[in-house]
Amino acid sequence: MKNDMETIILTDESNNDVEFEVVEKVLVKDKKYLIVTPLEGNDDEALALSMIEEDGKCYFKPVEDSKELKLVEEAYEELLLEE
């Protein structure tokens, strides 16, 4: 595990804390998103999370809308091509 890896901890539907690696941050139409993968388990599994900032706190919500998810995926792919 890299020392400079950024991680976040999310709580799943069973109220278990799960640690995720932040793979990338993307901006789509002035909205911030994170692409994350679980530190343990399936490395091929990635999630897109919408970042919601309210009252000085940051919340994360899984992107479930297929059109919104496609936009996030396209923005992420563009970032990969730039690297």
Reading the chain (83 residues) residue by residue, the pLDDT tens digits are: 455 789 999 988 899 999 999 999 999 999 999 999 998 876 678 899 999 999 999 899 999 999 999 999 999 999 888 87
- Whether residue 2 is contained in a domain is answered as no
Say what the pTM is. 0.82
- Distance CA(1)–CA(55), nearest Å, equals 33
Q: Is residue 32 part of a domain?
A: yes
Q: How many separate domains does the chain show?
A: 1
In a domain, 38, yes or no: yes
Give burial (CB, 10 Å; 0-12/13-18/19+) of 82. exposed
**Domain residue limits at 39:** 7-82
C-beta separation of 76 from 35 below 8 A: yes
